[in-house]
Amino acid sequence: MFSFLYFFHITGLAVWLGSLVSLSILIILINKILRFGELTNKFVQIINKMIKWVMNPSALVILLTGFMMTLQMEYTSETKPLWLKLMEQAGGLILILSIITFTIQSNRISKKMISKGTAVIHIESSKLYSSILPLMMITIILILGVTMIVSLKIM
């Protein structure tokens, strides 16, 4: 059972990290396009679907499998190594904050699109996406940091 959970945990991590990287690249490309035009409804739909149907479910898979694996480990709270505590606490916090933040941001952009009532949003709405880009980069760096510490069992 543990190896089954571990497989889904690592798969979820790969999908979550991959979706963050691909969304970051997509947002950078959208910002370049916006210098010459407008943000179409299609771009907004792609980003929102990626957040709601790929990124958030994979983050939930990571949380659930990580929780289940932690329950199966034979450590008490006093005997847990520091890398495991870091993985549980920092990794869990990054996941939860990521789900909340990116969902709120995605909903805000969708509401702006609906309130305009058109298939096109002007450049001022692209600032919403450019504000999420640094957050995505910080999240990617934190994920890689926690993954490195856990995989090398540092500390």
Per-residue pLDDT at 9 = 94
Q: Which residues of 69-105 are buried (b: 16+ CB within 10 A; e: fewer)?
A: beeeeeeeeeeeeebbebbbebbbebbeebbeebeeb
Per-residue pLDDT at 84 = 87
How far is residue 15's CA from residue 60's CA, in Å, rounded to a whole number?
Answer: 11
pLDDT, tens digit (0-9, with 9 covering 90-100), for 78-100: 888 888 888 899 999 999 999 99
Per DSSP, 124 falls in state G
Task: State the pTM of this model.
Answer: 0.84
Low-confidence ranges of the chain (pLDDT < 70): 34-41, 113-129, 154-155
Per-residue pLDDT at 6 = 93
On average, the pLDDT of the chain sits at 83
Per-residue pLDDT at 107 = 83
What's the chain's length in residues? 155
Per-residue pLDDT at 29 = 80
- Assigned token pair, 148: 């490195």
Helical packing angle, 126-152 and 92-116, nearest 10°: 160
